[in-house]
């Protein structure tokens, strides 16, 4: 039987979802900088596969395949939303409306209502920022190492809290909120911070910027659930915890899906399965 494969060729990572011989959905991931590896993996493991592709780099990936037939393409946002809804259904949790934030290389924010979705906002602060700014500040480029180090870090001297500014004054808002990400370094002259602290600071900035935008979007559209996806969240408890606590503080419900980064690939696979 032909293997059906869904591919999401993203700015940083290429994600693959496919059905194995036991009809289970399985996953693979490659760097988008090495499409040749993707091609070789498909050729050696699933030479006659039927492929459907999505993601911003879909066209760049396609040129590596000399297939006589055109490889079907599904629009990234449609694939991602379908992948999200599929996972929600599996988890028996299907909110009528939700804000969905895809924290990929950059971050894209969507509203899903009555099975329709629309992109409403976004920010360049995302997973690429974690890798890029993290590298610029510490020289560390490996995602796993960034995870390990940032987990051990403290943001106490990196950021300024509202309570740091309002010391003996009556607080106008919660004192534990961040008043300034990285502001502490200049205010307290705490340069030469450890790599762990700097990376924890980067995670804090990303989580708080993304969560803030999502909370505003949820308020504007009067929805409670905010679904956070994207490979940036994978094995990244610190970022999840930052996003979780800020979202809960603002009385919204954060939802993390098990397959953080694979929604687009799942959507492409479902599209592919539908066509047969
Ligand atoms: N092994 C890894 N190598 C590189 N980045 C990783 C790895 N594991 C997790 N990441 C994080 O995942 C981010 C990419 O997330 P994701 O795969 O969702 O984005 P993308 O689809 O490639 O980008 P976009 O959707 O913006 O085009 C990286 O920027 C990085 O922060
Ligand atoms: Mg993506």
Residue 268, domain CATH: 3.30.420.40
* Residue 271 pLDDT: 93
Residue 120 lies in a domain: no
218 and 133: one domain? yes
**Run of H or E including 119:** strand 116-123
Residue 22 lies in a domain: yes
* Predicted structure pTM score: 0.96
Going by CA atoms, what residue is nearest to atom 7 of ligand 1? 143
Q: Which domain holds residue 45?
A: 4-77+263-274
In this structure, what token pair is assigned to residue 226?
């905010």
184-206: average pLDDT: 94
Residue 84 lies in a domain: no
Taking the CA of residue 130 as reference, the ligand 1 atom at the shortest distance is: 31
141 and 221: one domain? yes
Percent of the chain residues past pLDDT 90, beyond the cut: 86
268 and 217: one domain? no
42 and 134: one domain? no
Residue 108 lies in a domain: no
249 and 204: one domain? yes
148 and 43: one domain? no
Helix extents (H) in the chain: 35-45, 58-62, 76-90, 127-138, 143-152, 162-165, 183-187, 195-220, 237-249, 263-274
163 and 66: one domain? no
* Residue 188 pLDDT: 85
Average pLDDT, the chain: 95
242-271: average pLDDT: 97
* Residue 68 pLDDT: 62
76 is catalytic: yes
How far, in Å, from the CA of 180 to the mean position of ligand 1?
Answer: 26
Q: How does residue 149 score in pLDDT terms, banded at 50, 70 and 90?
A: very high
* Residue 105 pLDDT: 98
Number of domains in the chain: 2
112-121: average pLDDT: 92
Lining ligand 1 with CB less than 6 A are 10-13, 32, 56, 104-106, 127-128, 130-131, 143, 230-232, 234, 261
Residue 70 lies in a domain: yes
The DSSP bridge partners found for residue 18 are: 5, 26
In this structure, the number of other CB atoms found within 10 A of the CB of residue 15 comes to 26
Going by CA atoms, what residue is nearest to atom 1 of ligand 1? 143
Going by CA atoms, what residue is nearest to atom 29 of ligand 1? 127
Distance between CA atoms of residues 18 and 4, nearest Å:
6
269 and 189: one domain? no
Q: Is the pLDDT of residue 275 over 80?
A: no
- Cβ neighbors of 141 (< 8 A, separation 6 or more) are 131, 134, 135
241 and 270: one domain? no
Is residue 26 within 8 A of residue 46, CB to CB? The reply is no
Active site residue: 69, 76, 94, 271, which one?
76
């Amino acid at each position: 039987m032909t293997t059906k494969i869904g591919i999401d060729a993203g700015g940083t990572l290429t994600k693959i979802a496919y059905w194995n011989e036991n009809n289970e959905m399985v996953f693979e991931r490659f760097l988008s900088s090495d499409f040749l590896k993707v091609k070789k993996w498909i050729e050696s493991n699933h030479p006659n596969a039927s492929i459907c592709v999505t993601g911003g780099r879909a066209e760049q990936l396609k040129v590596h395949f000399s297939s006589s037939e055109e490889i079907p393409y599904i629009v990234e946002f449609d694939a991602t939303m379908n992948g999200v809804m599929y996972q929600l259904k599996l988890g028996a949790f299907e909110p009528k409306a939700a804000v969905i934030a895809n924290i990929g290389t950059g971050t894209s924010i969507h509203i899903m209502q009555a099975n329709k979705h629309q992109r409403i906002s976004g920010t360049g602060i995302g997973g690429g920022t974690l890798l890029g700014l993290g590298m610029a500040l510490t020289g560390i480029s490996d995602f796993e190492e960034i995870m390990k180090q940032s987990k051990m870090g403290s943001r106490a001297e990196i950021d300024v809290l509202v309570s740091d500014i309002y010391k003996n004054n009556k607080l106008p808002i919660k004192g534990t909120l961040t008043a300034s990400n990285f502001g502490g370094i200049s205010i307290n002259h705490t340069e030469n911070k450890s790599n762990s602290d700097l990376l924890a600071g980067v995670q804090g900035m990303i989580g708080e910027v993304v969560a803030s935008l999502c909370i505003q979007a949820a308020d504007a559209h009067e929805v409670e659930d905010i679904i956070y996806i994207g490979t940036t969240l994978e094995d990244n408890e610190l970022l999840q915890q930052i996003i979780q606590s800020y979202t809960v503080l603002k009385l919204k419900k954060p939802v993390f899906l098990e397959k953080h980064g694979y929604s687009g690939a799942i959507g492409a696979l479902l599209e592919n399965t539908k066509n047969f």
